Amino acid sequence: MTRVLDLGRQPGGVTYAVPGHPFVAEATGPEIVRRARQAGLPVRVIEGLSFLEPTFTALGVDPYPHMALIDAMTLSMAHQPAFSPETPVLIAQIYSKSLPPRLR
């Protein structure tokens, strides 16, 4: 993040891009924006389609009011899930085989 902010201070700034929406299941996007605003750097966020919308379309479900969205790492480290067994759950950030075996 420091490198991105350093580049943002240069003439012409910097573009930091992620797939999808920069604030959906992304820790770096919001933090870069927060730090840039603190430093008085101009920020322009361009929203993209997150993984959520196509997932809901593919499943044919409306996520409201009861669907839980949870990070795989958070779930893998919990003694018990932080949601009811009856609640539909979408688990995000399953991006590596190195995730703890409880999710496999």
**Tens digit of pLDDT at every position of the chain (104 positions):** 899 999 999 999 999 998 889 998 888 999 999 999 999 999 999 999 988 999 999 989 888 888 888 888 888 777 777 788 888 888 888 777 766 555 55
Report pLDDT for 34: 95
34, 45 Cβ separation under 8 angstroms: no
Residue 53 is assigned to a structural domain of this protein = no
Cα of first residue to Cα of last residue in the chain, in angstroms, is: 31
Report pLDDT for 65: 82
pTM for the full predicted model: 0.67
Cα 87 to Cα 89: distance, rounded to the nearest angstrom? 6
Cα 25 to Cα 69: distance, rounded to the nearest angstrom? 10
Residue 30 is assigned to a structural domain of this protein = yes
Report pLDDT for 80: 78
Residue 65 is assigned to a structural domain of this protein = yes
Report pLDDT for 102: 56
| Count of the separate structural domains present in the chain | 2
Q: 29 lies in which domain range?
A: 2-38
